[in-house]
Amino acid sequence: SISSSGDIDWVSFEQKSWVDFKAVYSTHKKMLEIVESLSNGEISAVEAYSQIETRKDWFDQKFREIDYYENNIQEDYLNIIAAMAIYDSDAAESILNYLDSQKTSDLAKAQEALNNVSAEVMLFSAQRVVILQNTGLNEEDASNQVIQEMSELD
């Protein structure tokens, strides 16, 4: 077992998890764009179905890859990214169901899952400050980095 954070490469962990977060986040955003394009009539339901299905598979795969933690702090942190992937997968499934059924209840389920992703993003931002402090940054610098980098995502 690992006795202190000194034995852990926090910098590598932070970099890898940040890359994973950005990948999940950008795929999430892309899925929202597909839904918007569908509702604007810019793409067909068939095209939307195919694109959403591809992303659902991606989220399911990504979820299985996010397991490289070395302690509880890292595990809890990665669980946030994993939760985003699962909620996005759930949202994708509900969108696919909606395209098949045209039931508003499926659309409502998708919206709920997407709202859950937003909540996880907020949680991730807060926790990332702690992770960055473990890499050696002070709280203010860690906070500023999170604010800066999150603002660059949108």
Find the range with the poorest average confidence among 7-11, 73-77, 94-98, 140-144: 7-11
The percentage of the chain sitting over the pLDDT mark of 70, rounded to a whole number, equals: 96
Cβ neighbours of residue 46 closer than 8 Å, sequence gap 6 or more: none
The answer on pLDDT for 3 being more than 70 is: no
What pTM did the predictor assign?
0.92
68 token code pair: 């490289």
CA 54 to the chain's CA centroid = 16
pLDDT at residue 106, rounded to an integer: 95
Q: What is the average pLDDT across 53-73?
A: 97
Q: What is the average pLDDT across 109-135?
A: 96
pLDDT digits (tens, 9 = 90+) for 81-115: 999 999 999 999 999 999 999 999 999 999 999 99
pLDDT at residue 25, rounded to an integer: 98
The answer on pLDDT for 71 being more than 90 is: yes
